[in-house]
Structure 1
């Protein structure tokens, strides 16, 4: 399909479905994210020509639950997330890298102009795989030619320092940020809040792209939902 230079911004939601996600309504909140994104796109149909979305879940292993697609495709059926196993960050990063590399190559072959992907990574706990292994997988992801803008998000028992180390880029004019649940806040409500931030970013970034600009736009700290705190890379220096 020759798209003659049409511009696209890929988004990926990478979400933890380890056993701990079965508590406190977290899984239900996670399953509400994709329908909320579809509703937001339906209310901003101009963005359907600019935005593509993919879904990956992870536990002991990672699965592509929704290949990169147009979420307003009437034939699309959204998958339901279910809990399983542990929390392998390495599996998530490796599967994500393979997906992004394959997707970008195909989109470029179809004559799209592909802007840097944005990844929203949501976890409710610490990684259960070996640190050297998952850090190597993250290094491979972020050193890839088509590396993404990586926005980590944590709820419940997620480790702020660990997730803060995943902000990428962490310097320069287009650095990303970490979104964390405030201590004592409801984890399910925090997931819903993170979904609101994701959707706001998607809409702002999509309209920016339509206006001829580039880059992932994050909402300002003053517009964050209750119970969510933003950390910038400088907070971890």
Structure 2
């Protein structure tokens, strides 16, 4: 049956620097699965995709309704931190997913991307071009991006990546705690965005404040 669909893409750094913290993030994604997968309204209106990136990028969980999967796939560490690989794969994946959803008769809203990194890109000369292609103004499916930086992430880079909101963790917040708050913010956004307005429409609801993080910008969606 055709639905109104808001796709969410979670793009996570899984470089070696994340090795001690991925357990917490994987736990947060399992909590997201439980919260959304057991809410039939939100599960029908949203779709979820998980992309991990290090030296390359991979779709770890193809776009789906969270109620359709039994176990959430987990992130695993790899060397390097290629932002270009993440943005290139994200562009290809979003394009394919949106075309498929529309072909099935769904009304598709602009995708939302939650981007997380705890370090600096190892491809500083390459990633800006891939990022600009992802946000090509002539591409109707270009996503809204909410970016999160923790640990040694560069504030200027995180601010540049986020198109509607960007967050940088406070210096006193441990990486594990920061990842927990990231997962909580993601869950709140998915759950609240999946609840239709009185007229049946959907809107992307994103956090304006996240515990332990400084908001780098506040723009209108």
Q: Same fold (TM over 0.5)?
A: yes
Match of 2:87 among 90, 93, 97: 93
Question: How many residues are matched?
Answer: 217
Would you identify which runs of 4 or more consecutive aligned residues in structure 1 move more than 6 Å? Answer: none
Partner of 1:186: 174
Does structure 1 residue 7 correspond to structure 2 residue 4? yes
- Distance in 1 (CA, whole Å) between partners of 2:217 and 2:94 is 25
Q: Calculate the TM-score normalised by the size of structure 1.
A: 0.86
Partner of 1:64: 59
In structure 1, stretches of 5+ residues that fail to align are 169-175
Shift of 1:40: 1.2
Partner of 1:165: 160
- Distance in 2 (CA, whole Å) between partners of 1:120 and 1:199 is 11
In structure 2, stretches of 5+ residues that fail to align are none
Match of 1:17 among 14, 22, 26: 14
Q: What secondary structure sits across from 1:68 in the alignment?
A: strand
Cα pair 1:156 1:181 within 8 Å, conserved: yes
Cα distance, 1:67–1:194 mapped onto 2, change above 3 Å: same
Does structure 1 residue 83 correspond to structure 2 residue 77? yes
Cα distance, 1:86–1:50 mapped onto 2, change above 3 Å: same
Cα pair 2:208 2:215 within 8 Å, conserved: no
Shift of 1:145: 2.4
Does structure 1 residue 216 correspond to structure 2 residue 213? no
Give me the CA root mean square deviation: 1.7
Partner of 1:177: 165
Q: Calculate the TM-score normalised by the size of structure 2.
A: 0.92
Per-residue Cα deviation, 1:203-229 (whole angstroms, up to 9, x for no partner):
1111146753343111343xx32x122
